Amino acid sequence: MAQDRPTASELLSAIADMLRDEAIPALDKADPRLGFQMRVAVNSLAILEREARLGAAADAREHQRLAKLLGRDGTLEALNRELARQLRAGERNERDASLMTHLEATIADKIAIANPRWK
């Protein structure tokens, strides 16, 4: 069972902060290539932290939108497979306003996790 504090999100954030503030500057002086690799690792930790903090709510919103869009319930994976099938079959396209609204919201949630500074 997970501890109440620190949360997984807080632990990931603390690790990323320590690596960014202490390890990267030291590595930049000793081995710039390794400093770059550490930046990639820190960015990955930041993505994991945002996923831990935001992922479940984003998935729930996506599931709710898909169920409404498709008029049926199922797992998030099954609903996404059905939407993909409909798109491949030409049953839906970019002129479907409800589809586009769903896709824009889903993409916004994914960007908030992957790279919140992207615009």
Tens digits of residue pLDDT in 52-73: 999 999 999 999 999 999 999 9
Closest Cα to residue 92, out of 70, 71, 67, 114?
70
pLDDT at 71: 97
Task: Residue 49: count other Cβ atoms within 10 Å of its Cβ.
Answer: 21
SS3 breakdown of the chain: % helix, strand, coil, rounded to 5?
80, 0, 20
What is residue 20's predicted lDDT score, i.e. its pLDDT? 93
Q: Residue 63: name the closest of 54, 53, 76, 73 by CA.
A: 76
For residue 5, report the phi and psi dihedrals to the nearest 5 degrees.
Answer: -140, 140
pLDDT reported for residue 2: 58
User: What confidence tens digit (pLDDT) does each residue in 17-30 have?
Assistant: 999 999 999 999 99
Query: Which sequence spans correspond to the domains of the chain?
Result: 8-114
pTM, whole model, 2 decimals?
A: 0.81
